[in-house]
Amino acid sequence: MDLNKWANGLNERVYNEWKTHFFEWKQGFKILYGWPLETPRLMIISLNPGGDQSSFAEDRERFERGDFSSAQKPPYLTSAYRFAIKMRDLFGEHVELLRETVAFPVSFFRSEGWSSIPRNVKNQMKQFCFPIVREIIQTMPPRRLLVIGLNTYEKLESILGGFTDKQVALLREGEKTSTLIKESKWGAKRGAILRRI
């Protein structure tokens, strides 16, 4: 399969859905944060892209011209967005691993925060995005999976039909201890969940 052609098709499908059903959602959308890879060493999945209308402007102009090509650079490696900077900091001296990484959200539609999206709109977005998330994971099966946030983890667990979890790290906040990272398996895949970065 030609992954670039497939990724371009994803951009076109989501653009058409946005144009038809979510055009009033001026913040737009983002699917893949970087290039598609056949078997990425790492797949990073977050909840939904942040940003506003200006964050979507460049992609929107390309899509309106009929150019649905996907990014041809690694996710987070060069971007000046705050989340990208945090990701580079998280990877530290292993930042080059991002060259072998695929990253995307479980909901492609931008917002200031997941809770800021009206419930009925959020449900429509989930109904559209979640089957595509499954398709992305099946098309580019990762060796490891890093899931950002417990909310994302719960949604991904629902999309994939569950995980078998093994706790590998804890976060201690005063006297309270909570899970920070979980090592997960579904099929032959392995994953991790990060609570906060």
Residue 103 lies in a domain: yes
Do the beta carbons of residue 183 and residue 168 sit within 8 Å?
yes
Pairing mode, strands 189-194 and 144-148: parallel
In a domain, 135, yes or no: yes
Name the domain count of the chain. Answer: 1
Answer yes or no: is 184 within a domain. Answer: no
Q: Is residue 42 part of a domain?
A: yes
Range of the domain at 39: 3-153
Q: Domain for residue 194, yes or no?
A: no
What pLDDT does residue 42 have? 92
CB-count burial class (<10 Å; 0-12, 13-18, 19+) for 194 = buried
Q: Is residue 188 part of a domain?
A: no
d(Cα 47, Cα 125) in Å, to the nearest integer? 12
Domain-embedded: residue 78: yes
Kindly report the pTM of this predicted structure: 0.82
pLDDT at 167: 52
Distance CA 83, CA 77 (A): 11
d(CA 175, CA 160): 34
The CATH number covering residue 87 comes to 3.40.470
**What is the block-wise mean pLDDT of the chain (197 residues), using blocks of 10 residues?**
95 96 90 93 91 87 94 84 85 90 94 88 94 96 87 88 59 52 44 44
Q: How far apart are the C-alpha atoms of 95 and 87, rounded to whole Å?
A: 8
Name the CA dihedral angle for 28, 103, 77, 79, rounded to a multiple of 10 degrees: 10
Q: Which two tokens stand for residue 194?
A: 């990060």
CB 103 within 8 A of CB 32: yes
Residue 174 has a pLDDT of 53
Sheet of strand 101-105, all strands in order from the earlier edge strand to the far edge: 101-105, 42-46, 144-148, 189-194, 176-186, 164-173
Is residue 128 in some structural domain? yes
Give the closest residue to 9 by CA, choosing from 31, 26, 28. 31
Answer left, alpha or beta for residue 174, where phi above 0 means left and psi between -120 and 50 means alpha. Answer: left
pLDDT of residue 185: 44
